[in-house]
Amino acid sequence: MSGAILVLSGPSGAGKSTIIDSASNRIGEYYFSISTTTREPREGEVHGVDYYFVSKEEFEEDIKAGQFLEYATVHSNYYGTSLKPVKEALEMGKLVIFDIDVQGHRLVRAKMGDLVTSAFITPPSLKELERRLYGRSTDKSYIIEQRIENAKEEIKAIGEFDFVIINDIIDRASLEFATIANASRLKLSKQELENLVVQWENGLS
């Protein structure tokens, strides 16, 4: 049994991290893919926990070396996912959870589509997103404005996702996320399906 991939996307401020944290005791063991970025750490963010923070030069070297499963430029910064830890976790049969943007979702689906389940997480409205982003106020207002413009674009891709989680009431959103995560583990890859049919006919399982 190989692992499975769950991609989560949605506007910054949708509450993705909070949802994952609050559901973690209901979804069994998983590997949370840590993205690599060239953007500056926010207050409280830790290298190797929230992101791998690297320089633009380091990031571009890794691109050349083919070490990214996906990467993109957002707000003039690079964001990417290193392939190696993901492959290792999948080989161990783990559920790998990605918190990436809609571009990243497209790229991961194109490369590993038969392992992917995806969910778009969003606050109930644009107004509520604005309220949360300004309320959090860890970012300068021009950065918040950029995030809001980005959210308006990202919501247009909502139809590309298997599921949508409206993060209105956190307990409900967390339960919905856990349900989706547990279902995503049951998805079989093409390879697993082929093996299953052969074994099924020959009575090996």
The residues binding a copy of itself (CB under 8 A) are: 122, 124-128, 152, 155-156, 158-159, 162-166, 176, 179-180, 182-183, 186-188, 190, 193, 196-197, 199-205
Closer of 84 and 156 to a copy of itself (Cβ): 156
Task: Compute the least distance from the CB of residue 182 to a copy of itself, in Å.
Answer: 5
Task: Compute the least distance from the CB of residue 41 to a copy of itself, in Å.
Answer: 30
Closer of 50 and 114 to a copy of itself (Cβ): 114
3-state secondary structure 3-19: CEEEEEECCCCCCHHHH
Task: Compute the least distance from the CB of residue 90 to a copy of itself, in Å.
Answer: 18
Task: Compute the least distance from the CB of residue 62 to a copy of itself, in Å.
Answer: 34
Closer of 63 and 198 to a copy of itself (Cβ): 198
Question: Cα separation of 190 and 187, whole Å?
Answer: 10
Question: Cα separation of 81 and 100, whole Å?
Answer: 9
Closer of 69 and 121 to a copy of itself (Cβ): 121
Closer of 58 and 162 to a copy of itself (Cβ): 162
Closest CA to 16 of 132, 181, 179, 173: 173
Give the distance, in angstroms, between the CA of residue 200 and the centroid of all CA atoms in the same chain.
34
Task: Compute the least distance from the CB of residue 32 to a copy of itself, in Å.
Answer: 20
Tokens (6 digits) for 180: 């989706």
In Å, how far are 9, 71, 94, 154, 155 from 148, measured between CA atoms?
15, 21, 34, 10, 11
Task: Compute the least distance from the CB of residue 109 to a copy of itself, in Å.
Answer: 15
Do the beta carbons of residue 161 and residue 122 sit within 8 Å? Answer: no
Closer of 88 and 149 to a copy of itself (Cβ): 149
User: For the packed helices 170-184 and 16-23, what is the interaxial angle rounded to 10 degrees?
Assistant: 70
